[in-house]
């Protein structure tokens, strides 16, 4: 068999391929599965299974901590939507400049500068952002979180938008301008609609990244301002309760939905 197909490289022919794959998948997903399953546990215990119940989901919305979580969730969503919107706008402009700006000096340096924050350890960004706000005397609160999130979400939004734009030929804009559209009309009527899948994809990515950010938020948030991740962390410090598992499971579900939308939107190719 192996010799007959030797011309074709088939990774499945290697011994242990299956075992390693399963191990990797197990390590990646076992904790998530455990959390998801135990969020439906009827017992207050974290380890003993006592049957299926939605009690902890009810607890999240009506229990003693529900007020805290509601405020935090509201903050998180407001920040995530606002930061993703601003980051996507900036990223769209950046991508337009980078992809359509022709050759300019320091083009690759600019690309590096835009995507570098993805590689910088988040704690460094967090500390730097905190020091920056202190230095300019910006009082910490929801605004500082919003600004910090906008800044670090730009590269996440930029990548899918720029990738999309690279796939759109110049000739569409040229055809638009040839047909009497000025530069602004060519952008809004032709380029923007064609870029839309990339823009939506970038927005969703930025939204998710902002929604679950903990480190930077924890550094730049003011006293008493909580987002969902910091509220969860605060609650966990006093001991893990099953309601945390319920919140985590809901966040997980939201992420899955968003990532799925992003995947299908970016695949829907309206240039073909």
Partner 1 sequence: MVEETSATGWETQLSKNEQIAIDVRDAVKRYGDFTALKTISLSIKDNEFFTLLGPSGCGKTTLLRMIAGFEDVTEGGIFLYGDEIENLPPYQRPVNTVFQNYALFPHMTILDNVAFGLEMRGANKSDARKKAGEMLELVQLSQFSARKPSQLSGGQQQRVALARALAPQPKVLLLDEPLSALDLKLRKAMQLELKHLQRETGITFIFVTHDQEEALTMSDRIAVMSAGELQQLGSPNDIYERPRNMFVADFIGETNLLEVSVDKVENGRAICHLGGGHELTCNAVDEVGVGSKVHLSIRPERLFMSEEPAEGESLKAKVRENIFVGTDITTILDLADGPEFIVRTSNSDRGNKRIFEPGTDMYVNMEVGAARLLVD
Contact footprint for partner 1 (CB under 8 A)? 169, 171-172, 174-183, 185, 189-190, 193-194, 270-272
**What's the min distance (Å) between Cβ of 119 and partner 1?**
35
Query: In the complex with partner 1, which residue's Cβ is closer, 14 or 104?
Result: 104
Query: In the complex with partner 1, which residue's Cβ is closer, 10 or 178?
Result: 178
- What CA–CA distance (Å, rounded) separates 162 from 97? 10
- What CA–CA distance (Å, rounded) separates 261 from 256? 9
Query: In the complex with partner 1, which residue's Cβ is closer, 59 or 173?
Result: 173
- What CA–CA distance (Å, rounded) separates 206 from 88? 8
Query: In the complex with partner 1, which residue's Cβ is closer, 6 or 174?
Result: 174
**What's the min distance (Å) between Cβ of 30 and partner 1?**
44
**What's the min distance (Å) between Cβ of 192 and partner 1?**
10
**What's the min distance (Å) between Cβ of 163 and partner 1?**
17
**What's the min distance (Å) between Cβ of 170 and partner 1?**
9
Query: In the complex with partner 1, which residue's Cβ is closer, 68 or 100?
Result: 100
Contact 228, 251 (CB under 8 A): yes
Contacts of 219 (CB under 8 A, 6+ apart): 126, 127, 129, 130
- What CA–CA distance (Å, rounded) separates 248 from 255? 10
Contacts of 69 (CB under 8 A, 6+ apart): 60, 228, 231, 247
Q: Which of 219, 220, 255, 241 is nearest to 68 (CA)?
A: 241
């Amino acid at each position: 068999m192996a010799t007959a197909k030797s011309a074709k490289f088939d990774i499945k022919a290697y011994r242990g391929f299956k075992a390693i794959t399963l191990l990797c998948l197990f390590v990646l997903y076992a904790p998530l599965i455990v959390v998801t399953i135990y969020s439906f546990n009827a017992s207050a215990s974290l380890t003993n299974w006592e049957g299926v119940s939605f009690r902890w989901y009810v607890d999240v919305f009506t229990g003693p901590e529900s007020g805290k979580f509601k405020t935090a969730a509201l903050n998180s969503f407001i920040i995530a939507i606002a930061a993703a919107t601003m980051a996507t706008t900036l990223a769209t402009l950046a991508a337009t400049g980078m992809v359509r700006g022709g050759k300019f000096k320091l083009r690759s340096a600019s690309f590096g500068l835009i995507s570098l924050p993805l590689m910088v350890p988040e704690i460094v960004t967090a500390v730097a952002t905190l020091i920056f706000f202190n230095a300019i005397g910006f009082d910490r609160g929801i605004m500082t979180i919003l600004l910090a999130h906008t800044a670090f979400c730009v590269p996440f939004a930029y990548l899918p938008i720029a990738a999309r734009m690279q796939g759109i030929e110049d000739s569409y804009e040229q055809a638009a301008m040839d047909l009497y559209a000025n530069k602004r009309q060519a952008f809004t009527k032709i380029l923007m609609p064609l870029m839309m899948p990339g823009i939506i994809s970038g927005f969703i990515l930025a939204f998710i990244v902002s929604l679950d950010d903990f480190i930077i938020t924890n550094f730049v948030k003011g006293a008493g301002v909580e987002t969902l991740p910091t509220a969860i962390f605060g609650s966990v410090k006093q001991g893990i309760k099953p309601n945390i598992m319920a919140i985590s499971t809901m966040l997980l579900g939201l992420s899955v939905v968003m990532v799925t939308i992003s995947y299908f939107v970016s695949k829907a190719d309206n240039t073909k």
